[in-house]
Structure 1
Amino acid sequence: MYILIVDDDIVDRKLIRKMLMTDGMQLHSITEVESVSEGLYAIEDMHFDVILLDYSMPKEDGIELLREMRAKPNLGNTAIIMISTSENPSLALKCIEAGAQDFLPKNDITSASLNKAILFAKKRFESEQRMLESYLAVKRMAERDQLTGLSNRYHFEEILKSTIASNIRSKNSVALLVIDIDNFKNINDTLGHNVGDEILKQLVSRINNCLRRDEGFARLGGDEFAVIIGGISQLSQIGKVATRILNHTAEPFVIDNTTISCGVSIGSAIYPTDATHSHDLLKCADIAMYRSKQSGKGKNSFYKEQYQYEFSRRVEIQNNIKNYLKNDAFRLFYQPVYCVKTHKICGVEALIRWPDVTPFYNPDEFIPIAEESRFINELGNWVISTALKQLAQWQNKYSDTLNMAINISPVQLQSECFVEKLLVEVNKYQINTHNITLEVTETALIEDNLKIADVLNSLSVKGFKIALDDFGMGYSSISHLTTYPINIVKLDKSMQVAESEKSIKIIEGLSLMLKALDFEIIAEGIETQSQHFLCKELNINFMQGFLFSKAIPAENIEQLLIDCCLSQK
């Protein structure tokens, strides 16, 4: 056993050595030093199993060596027995609390007691080490993300607090980057969580290559990550790191021979400019990241105070959507669609409206938020049920040929039970599927999602009409007209506003093309008599717009149905 004796008294050292050597059961390699500084040098040079450390020495107390050893992991794996001329119990307790395994008064030391203390101290230390290793293992599990090995949210927040505190002293700024993977949920939904997990691991590797060793990197949860950059003196430093991350993560991932493209969006916030507390800084970076998402994804946005207002507004809308759904408070309005030939209402489009409360929000504001929060599925189910119930009443009262158009979100089309729930409502109200038009925008088709294509084909086979809404708004692709089971094309209202010779020729050309392909055409946004006349000249099938009626409650539609002289049963 390798033993180090640290004692300034040469007589005591020789006595201890003699007691150790008289134990015939043990063979010891003994080193003697007479000061704490010499003891530290000895420890640096070689490993000792046990240190016999005198508490009272001239320049430094032995307890200083004890504390320094226990503070250094590479020098702290040795059992230590404190020895002293004092028999004070409080001193013994002080040494034990500082990390010693035992305490022996010099007057009580005998060969048997010394060797017994060494043996027990060694075993006690080994037991303490096992407990420490177990604690550290649990601590690592508590602080680390199991999939990526990064710090988790709890550990990250502790690191952020510490980084801010150290930069306060150095008067430097701290940047916090929140990183979120774009369209990650679609990957998990379509390719499975195993593929999603592999992308997360590869993405972590790529981001790590963009960072310095001293930059904190953590997984906050799901597909959200964060990076801490300390010692910031210029904004350009943050921009350079963010740009490197964006460029490295923009490259496609290859998983099981499948190429997958999914970049990231980044939000940046700066201490102390944007916030002075860690949790506020994280909130600011999170808000900036959402701004990047809203601005088209794949970019970095620096936090601005106005984003806080916009974010709070979004949160308020999201909470209200949840409450209004629970209380059945949303309203459904209907805008009539007129047949050009008969000048009568042939159907209506169901349009959801915010409850009649203050503040009031337009569909353009709350529908995207409902889609992001996935409340759109519940909201869409309510629209379908309410609209089909109303259609059944009008068909029984006025005409069984009346049609109902319902707007369907891309999120709904990707929901597992969308078709099933739609058919339940159709059967519940005994409505012919040919009288139901499901309107989708080209944004739902632009990524060529196979799941959406399968759902639309399934609905078409069951007799539902599929309408392509907002055609001509900017995303228009002729391939969508042939790839998907489209029956009806709705010309975007923006095409009706301009009445120049050039815009008229464009509308005329589109109309001729769509008719040649056997599509029914609905012109939206008809507001003037000249637009009405143009649609009649071009033999466009149907029209809707403020010239005829804005979207109105169901009771007002009834009067229009009567005025149009639809036959009653």
Structure 2
Amino acid sequence: MNVHRITSIVKSISDINSDNFFDEICLSLSRAIDADFVFIASIDDSKTNATSIAVANRGCIVDNFTYALKSSPCAEVSNESICTHRCNIQHLYPDDLLLKDMKIDGYVGIPLKTSKGQVSAILVALFEDNISNVLEVETLFMLFSGLIEKEIHKSSYLKKIEFSNNIIANTHEAIMVCDKDKFITYINPSFTRMTGYTQADLHGKTPKILNSGKQTKAFYQTMWADINKNGHWQGEIWNKCKNGSEYLEWLSITAIVDESNELTHYTAFFSDITEQYIAKEKIKFQDSYDDLTKTANKKTLFTFIERSIIQYSNQLECTTPAALLVIDIDFFNKFNSLYSHAFGDEVLMQVSSRLQSLIRSSDIVARTSGDNFALFINHITNQDSIVYFIDKVTHAFLKPFVIEGINIKITLSIGVACFRQDTQDVHRLFEKAEQAMFAAKDNGRNSYEFYSQLLSDKANKEEQLKLSLESAIENNDFCVVYQPIVSLKNKSVTKFEVLIRWNMHGKWVSPVDFIPTAEKFGLISKIGDLVLNLACTELCKLRKMGFSDIVFNVNRSIYEFSSGVNDISWLDTIKKYDLNPESICFELTESVLAPENDRCITLLNKLQSAGCTIALDDFGTGYSSLNYLRRFPIDTLKIDRGFISEMTKVEGDKVLVSAIISMAKALGISVVAEGVELKQEVDILVSLGCDYIQGYYFSKPLAPELLSQYLTDFEYGNQ
């Protein structure tokens, strides 16, 4: 072998680095053996294709290529064989087009193996002419194959390291490596992104630089004990960024040991889970607290009460150790209707804040529904103590609230139930306090009421009545009667008031008894619709009999407005029976004039515009205000029978009736006197200029089948 050739190859590659090693070795070998081509190619795992790593062609590095091994001499080399052909290589491998295109005649190829003895690459020399000394080429290739194999191993290893480094550098998890003394030696970019610390910031530092102070010393002692014992620890931990902000991380720490099981490093992987923690805490908060007022919700209130009850279980000497107050904001809906829902929300927040300022740490405030709150007060000695606390609450609410520059006065209806004295069950305690609150509202609001058995009996009776009403509505058990309304001007019957009747199991139930319950439990709209349909049916019959000018007064409840029922459905019912809206007068109680009912004005205007008339029933019992009358679209006032019955006995009532009639006429409103029973009352009303009279003087309410005969026989002077 030519020693000069070997020396020249060694010299040419002695100063090269890994970046161009394969190019230089191919160039040196091609010069040493005078080959036209020398290339190194990697073999894929299936040994189907070869892809060149470096290719030297007559002193130059040319582009790499990939070609199929099948039917080529390189296939033999890839199968761990040295393949040598001095000449005529194209005749031996006629299907190898690469040999033909490159005009190759001689071929030398040897396999290059991994450390495990598997062929991963090949070294090939190609000659356009026959090879003069094949053995020398083979020997030279074998001599340098080990060096090439080593460089391939190194290159593969560096690629794996580069790949791993890329993964570490681009992973979303933060990575930190510490030496065995816990000094930080490496951090990845995600660590810097999460914490703000760079590698330079952490030089000579330990992970203590991240300490937020939220974990106790015992926490870290337990953590390191687990690492030392098990070699691993993971869990949640609060740490601190460079800017001082705190974050929650899911941290995994592993101790790294060498072949001798000696500790060398610690690796820590962590991800920022602050957002997940905040979301989880928000869900947890929403499950336990009211999102608007930030007070406890009903669930948390009940849990708090149950815990308090456990504390009192052995205190037999204390009769009333605690009390539950259920609180309703009086006329809360007016804030939403007069201003806005945002205004109403602000009211709730400020009420909540004021209630919270009145309690101790041993007590709790909760928002239990829309405008309802509850206070559970612990450590109360007797009922006087409860009254004292209620007075404290009432006094606190004397001060007006200022919202959006508007001063508003808020009053409360409060119901009280005492633990142990009334019940020891948390659900029953709330129910009883709520019953007492409803009683306080029924008593005129801005007051408080203690639970009593009487209230319970009343609530049970009301519940039974509600169930019976639901059944009566479903089975259409109601009927209506009609009371004549006589025109004093025409001296004839021009109207009838439609009055509902309910025979429950053979016993007549007064509307005075069941209408409030229907209003309270949202059943009034169905009852109102039932009455309107029955009235329209009867009115159609009268029309067919020739009574074309009769108007029916149909009562509707103010609660139907607040429940979302609108006048359009009422007009649709009238239209369904092919009646003119002028045939129906809708009667509403005087409570419609209350300031919080301004929302009704639009609906009443629509009814009036369609042709219906509006009558105000029981006038003089609640909101007798000229200002209210001017604002609401009213066609008729019905003077309450209480004033009429006293008119012949008390001069002042006669004067009041006269004033009402005069005021109505000034506003262009007609007047109906209700409950007229005596000739003397009729005479007075005629002298005062009243428009209509309704009452027993002319007729009791009539069954539907009697209407046509009554209208036919009616004569004004025969009563």
TM range (shorter): 0.7 to 0.9
Q: Aligned equivalents of 1:363 and 1:283: distance in 2?
A: 27
Partners of 2:331 and 2:596 within 8 A in 1: no
Partners of 1:473 and 1:494 within 8 A in 2: no
| Residue 554 of structure 1: aligned partner | 704
Q: Aligned equivalents of 1:478 and 1:130: distance in 2?
A: 60
TM-superposition CA deviations, 1:65-117 (whole Å, max 9, x none)? xxxxxxx9967644527999xx9xxxxxxxxxxxxxxxxxxxxxx9998979x
Give 2:597's aligned amino acid.
N
Q: 1:494 Cα deviation (Å)?
A: 0.8
Partners of 2:295 and 2:366 within 8 A in 1: yes
- 1:70-85 equivalences in 2 (<5 Å): 77-78=219-220, 80=222
Distance change (3 Å), C-alpha of 1:556 and 1:254: farther
Q: Does 1:181 align with 2:329?
A: yes
Give 1:544's aligned amino acid.
Q
1:380 to 520, 528, 531: 528
Give 2:391's aligned amino acid.
T
1:206 to 339, 350, 354: 354
Q: Aligned equivalents of 1:540 and 1:130: distance in 2?
A: 74
| Residue 302 of structure 2: aligned partner | 157
Give 1:456's aligned amino acid.
L
User: 3-state DSSP class of the match of 1:233?
Assistant: coil
| Residue 282 of structure 1: aligned partner | 430
| Residue 401 of structure 1: aligned partner | 549
- 1:206-245 equivalences in 2 (<5 Å): 206-245=354-393
TM-superposition CA deviations, 1:184-238 (whole Å, max 9, x none)? 3444455443333222211111111111122122222322221111111022322
Give 2:544's aligned amino acid.
N
Q: Aligned equivalents of 1:73 and 1:170: distance in 2?
A: 39
Q: Aligned equivalents of 1:459 and 1:197: distance in 2?
A: 32
Partners of 2:180 and 2:266 within 8 A in 1: no
User: 3-state DSSP class of the match of 2:702?
Assistant: coil
Distance change (3 Å), C-alpha of 1:132 and 1:166: farther
Give 1:540's aligned amino acid.
C
| Residue 500 of structure 1: aligned partner | 649
Identical pairs, percent: 27
| Residue 60 of structure 1: aligned partner | none
Give 1:157's aligned amino acid.
F
Q: 1:538 Cα deviation (Å)?
A: 3.5
| Residue 50 of structure 2: aligned partner | none
| Residue 616 of structure 2: aligned partner | 468
Q: Aligned equivalents of 1:222 and 1:280: distance in 2?
A: 21
| Residue 365 of structure 1: aligned partner | 513
Distance change (3 Å), C-alpha of 1:446 and 1:547: same
Distance change (3 Å), C-alpha of 1:359 and 1:190: farther
User: 3-state DSSP class of the match of 1:274?
Assistant: coil
Q: Aligned equivalents of 1:346 and 1:391: distance in 2?
A: 13
Q: 1:417 Cα deviation (Å)?
A: 4.8
Q: Aligned equivalents of 2:261 and 2:218: distance in 1?
A: 24
Q: Aligned equivalents of 1:437 and 1:134: distance in 2?
A: 56
Distance change (3 Å), C-alpha of 1:363 and 1:235: same
Partners of 1:167 and 1:174 within 8 A in 2: no
TM-score, with structure 2 as normaliser: 0.59
Q: 1:258 Cα deviation (Å)?
A: 4.6
Q: Does 1:445 align with 2:587?
A: no
Structure 1 residues without counterparts, runs of 5 or longer: 1-22, 29-47, 50-71, 88-109
Q: 1:252 Cα deviation (Å)?
A: 4.3
TM-superposition CA deviations, 1:156-182 (whole Å, max 9, x none)? 111101111212334441111111222
- 1:27-38 equivalences in 2 (<5 Å): 27=182
Q: 1:525 Cα deviation (Å)?
A: 0.5
Q: Aligned equivalents of 1:131 and 1:466: distance in 2?
A: 59
Q: 1:290 Cα deviation (Å)?
A: 0.8
Q: 1:501 Cα deviation (Å)?
A: 5.3
- 1:3-402 equivalences in 2 (<5 Å): 25-27=180-182, 77-78=219-220, 80=222, 138-171=283-316, 172=318, 173-188=321-336, 191-249=339-397, 251-357=399-505, 360-402=508-550
TM-superposition CA deviations, 1:461-483 (whole Å, max 9, x none)? 33322222212335422334433
Q: Does 1:427 align with 2:569?
A: no
Structure 2 residues without counterparts, runs of 5 or longer: 1-177, 184-206, 209-213, 230-257
Aligned length: 481
Q: Aligned equivalents of 1:374 and 1:74: distance in 2?
A: 57
| Residue 534 of structure 1: aligned partner | 684
Q: 1:546 Cα deviation (Å)?
A: 1.8
Q: 1:542 Cα deviation (Å)?
A: 1.9
Q: Aligned equivalents of 2:577 and 2:600: distance in 1?
A: 26
Task: Give the stretch that moved more between structures: 129-138 or 388-397.
Answer: 129-138
TM-superposition CA deviations, 1:103-134 (whole Å, max 9, x none)? xxxxxxx9998979x979x999x999999998
Q: Aligned equivalents of 1:132 and 1:425: distance in 2?
A: 56
TM-superposition CA deviations, 1:118-151 (whole Å, max 9, x none)? 979x999x99999999876654442222222222
- 1:506-521 equivalences in 2 (<5 Å): 506-515=656-665, 517-521=667-671
Bigger share in strand: 2
Distance change (3 Å), C-alpha of 1:131 and 1:482: closer
| Residue 455 of structure 1: aligned partner | 603
| Residue 34 of structure 1: aligned partner | none
Q: 1:301 Cα deviation (Å)?
A: 1.2
Q: Aligned equivalents of 1:166 and 1:114: distance in 2?
A: 56
Distance change (3 Å), C-alpha of 1:538 and 1:263: closer
Distance change (3 Å), C-alpha of 1:267 and 1:490: same
Bigger share in helix: 1
Q: Aligned equivalents of 2:369 and 2:393: distance in 1?
A: 19
Give 1:500's aligned amino acid.
K
User: 3-state DSSP class of the match of 1:266?
Assistant: strand
Q: Does 1:483 align with 2:638?
A: no
Q: Aligned equivalents of 2:458 and 2:582: distance in 1?
A: 42
Q: 1:517 Cα deviation (Å)?
A: 4.8
Distance change (3 Å), C-alpha of 1:73 and 1:297: farther
Computed over aligned residues only, the root mean square deviation of the Cα atoms, in angstroms, reads 3.8
Give 2:476's aligned amino acid.
D
Q: Aligned equivalents of 1:224 and 1:112: distance in 2?
A: 71
User: 3-state DSSP class of the match of 1:80?
Assistant: helix
Partners of 1:211 and 1:241 within 8 A in 2: no
Q: Aligned equivalents of 1:326 and 1:115: distance in 2?
A: 82
Task: Give the stretch that moved more between structures: 422-431 or 226-235.
Answer: 422-431
Partners of 1:250 and 1:264 within 8 A in 2: no
Give 1:347's aligned amino acid.
K
Partners of 2:485 and 2:497 within 8 A in 1: yes
